[in-house]
Amino acid sequence: METQSKAPVAIVTGASRGIGAAIATELARQGFEVALLARDVAALGRLEEQLTRAGGRVWPLACDIADERAVGAAMERLEAKLGVPRVLVNNAGVGGPFHRVDEVSTAEWDQLFGVNVTGVRNLCHWALPRMKAQGYGRIVNIASIMGLFGGAQSSTYAATKHAVVGYSKSIAAEWGAYGITCNALCPGYIDTEMLAKADPAVRARLLERIPVKRFGTPEEVAGMVSFLVGPFSGYVNGSALVMDGGLSAHLASDLPAF
Ligand code: NAI
């Protein structure tokens, strides 16, 4: 029979690369047993090897978070192996499509909502009653500053991330009495593979608008997550925490003053 784990358990979705891998790495370093969820089995295997070598205890689980049945099956395996998680980080998400509103196809809309919104819902739906039963839970949903602002050619992504912020606040209101907090984290531009590949002219234009004159790092996002699941954040519930180098703090700096 499987034994229940004593170390606190965390689930990180989209852990195979980028921000999710940095979050999983930091939580493993802090002594969490981390369930690594993503679709890319090979990448999950590589991260498992790397974190295990560094002394971490991690469990790769290949699963499409948009598929409720697949999530249920993966969570059943996780619960049998490790017990109920104390921490859930809903990080997996997809970007795009970068079209005008009337050019976004129904398939693109459904795909983005399926992963970015229904995916978050599937994990929360599974975790909340279990966290309630243990009287403790920390949920962090990775939204974006596009969860608080709109942008041309970004309507679908912004709509999904606004949904994540609203969903997180509502969970905070409904489940706070059971020892569960739920917060949305709203990063600006983070230097992941995608941004590294962007045209240097595009990177330069973005940097012009960011007051601290650099992009954020996945490790900085991981640091914020670690604060939100750590001992000093019990009174932070239902927040949409912005970390964008000051980008969204100024609307009109590049317009003439009058
Ligand atoms: P990424 O594209 O490098 O990684 C996304 C991860 O999610 C991968 O592990 C991928 O396998 C996983 N994933 C995607 N669809 C999935 C599905 N259906 N089921 C299971 N896993 C799935 O993305 P990145 O840049 O690391 O972003 C992570 C999160 O942070 C996303 O929610 C993104 O919207 C958000 N974000 C990213 C920013 C950035 O500048 N990179 C800025 C603000 C928010």
- Res 2: pLDDT: 43
Q: What does the pLDDT read at residue 174?
A: 98
Mean pLDDT value across residues 9-23: 97
Examine the residue annotation and report whether 235 is marked as an active-site residue of this protein.
Answer: no
Q: Are strands 180-187 and 87-90 parallel, antiparallel or unpaired?
A: unpaired
Bond before 97 cis per omega within 30 degrees: yes
Domain with 61 in it: what CATH number? 3.40.50.720
Residue to mutate, 58, 94, 206, ligand 1, most ligand atoms under 8 Å from C-beta: 94
For the stretch 143-195, pLDDT in tens is 999 999 999 999 999 999 999 999 999 999 999 999 999 999 999 999 998 78
Kindly provide the residue ranges of all beta strands, DSSP E only, lying in 6-91, ordered along the sequence: 9-13, 33-38, 57-62, 87-90
HSE-up of residue 183 (Cα within 13 Å, Cβ side): 22
pLDDT band at 16 (very low <50, low <70, confident <90, very high): very high
Total structural domains within the chain = 1
Pocket-testing residue among 12, 19, 154, ligand 1, by greatest number of atoms within 8 A of Cβ = 19
What pLDDT, on a 0 to 100 scale, did the predictor assign at position 3? 46
b/e per residue 122-146 (b: at least 16 CB within 10 A): bbbebbbeebbeeeebbbbbbbbbb
Q: Which residues contact 37 (CB under 8 A, 6 or more apart)?
A: 11, 12, 13, 14, 15, 61, 62, 63, 65, 74, 92
Within a domain: residue 222? yes
Q: How many residues does the chain have?
A: 258
What is the token pair recorded at 60?
């790769």
**Mean pLDDT over residues 216-245, rounded?**
98
Please tell me the distance between residue 6's alpha carbon and the centre of ligand 1 in angstroms: 29
- Return the number of other C-beta atoms located less than 10 Å from residue 199's C-beta: 8
Residue 32 has pLDDT above 90, yes or no: yes
Residue 256 lies in a domain: no
Per-residue pLDDT, averaged over 16-41, amounts to: 97
Rounded to 10 degrees, what is the CA torsion of 157, 159, 162, 163? -110
pLDDT value for 33: 98
> Has residue 253 been placed in a domain?
no
- Could you tell me if residue 67 is inside a domain? yes
Domain-embedded: residue 148: yes
Residue 101 within any structural domain of the chain: yes
Q: How far is the CA of 106 from the centre of ligand 1 (A)?
A: 21
| Ligand 1 cavity residues, CB under 6 Å | 13-14, 16-20, 38-40, 64-66, 91-95, 115, 119, 142, 144, 187, 189-190, 192-195
Mean pLDDT over 201-229 rounds to 97
Q: How many CA atoms lie within 13 A of 199 on its CB side?
A: 3
CB atoms closer than 10 angstroms to residue 70: 16
Note the pLDDT of residue 223: 98
- For atom 8 of ligand 1, the residue with the nearest CA is 14
Q: Is the pLDDT of residue 1 over 50?
A: no
Q: Is residue 33 part of a domain?
A: yes
List the residue whose alpha carbon is closest to atom 41 of ligand 1. Answer: 190
Contact criterion met (CB below 8 Å) for 206 and 189? yes
What's the 255 CA to ligand 1 centre distance in angstroms? 33
Is the Cβ–Cβ distance between 59 and 80 less than 8 Å?
A: no
Region 113-128: what's the mean pLDDT? 98
Of the ranges 3-17, 18-32, 182-196, 225-239, which one carries the lowest mean pLDDT score?
3-17
Is 159 part of a structural domain of the chain?
yes
Domain range spanning residue 171?
9-242
Name the amino acid, one letter, at 144: S
